[in-house]
Amino acid sequence: MKKPAERKLTLREKLRSLQLDWRNAGRWVLALLLLLSTGAGAFWTVEKLQDPRVLPFKVVRIDGGLRHLDRLQIEKAVGGEIRGNFFTVDVERIYRAARNLPWVDQASVRRLWPDTLLIKISEQIPLARWGERQLVNPEGEIFSPLPHEIPEGLPQLSGPDGSSQ
């Protein structure tokens, strides 16, 4: 069987096939512009929110029943770790700095919108002296405050390492 002969396109038909469908092209250009502007806006927002001058902490609140610690000691311990702004501050680093204080049993660090950093402290409860320079809490954990911070009148305990629990 013979194939049907292909008809040759006229010049007008060739030009018409090359013409753009401007309606579809306009939609594509609009979609591309929308995508680019969204990406640029997101990039600008992320850059802006990383600037420490944007949303800085104005209040550092320290909560907890403090008997052996004072707010100044806590502020001194964590103050150097409060870097950045509401979005970039490293709360884990601040938590570790607070937990390194010998009288701190538990700590939590939270951001409160828009400009407050909340540090909650629970102090160790000394149950007895352990050896010469340490204290033991009700859970049997040993902690080491400064010698002048050790309360008077506590019972004296001692024993081999690991026997406090």
pLDDT at 17: 67
Give the angle 73-77-80 at the CA atoms, nearest 5°. Answer: 135
What is the sign, positive or negative, of the torsion defined by CA atoms of 98, 104, 107, 111?
Answer: negative
Where in the chain do CATH 3.10.20.310 domains reside? Answer: 59-123
pLDDT at 46: 84
Measured CA to CA, the distance from residue 48 to residue 42 in angstroms comes to: 10
Would the pTM of this model clear 0.75, i.e. be above it? Answer: no
pLDDT at 15: 67
Q: pLDDT tens string for the chain (165 positions)?
A: 566 667 787 777 766 766 666 667 778 889 999 999 999 989 888 888 788 788 899 999 999 989 999 999 999 999 999 999 999 999 999 999 999 999 999 999 999 999 999 999 999 999 999 988 999 999 999 999 999 999 999 999 877 776 666
Q: How many C-beta atoms lie closer than 10 Å to residue 126's C-beta? A: 20
CATH 3.10.20.310 fits 59-123, yes or no: yes
Measured CA to CA, the distance from residue 10 to residue 151 in angstroms comes to: 105
What is the sign, positive or negative, of the torsion defined by CA atoms of 136, 139, 143, 146?
Answer: negative
Q: How many C-beta atoms lie closer than 10 Å to residue 56's C-beta? A: 14
pLDDT at 54: 85
- The set of long-range contacts for 124-132, using a CB threshold of 8 Å and a minimum separation of 24, is 124/68, 126/150, 126/151, 126/154, 127/154, 128/154, 128/155, 128/156, 128/157, 129/154, 129/155, 129/156, 129/157, 130/157, 130/158, 130/164, 131/158
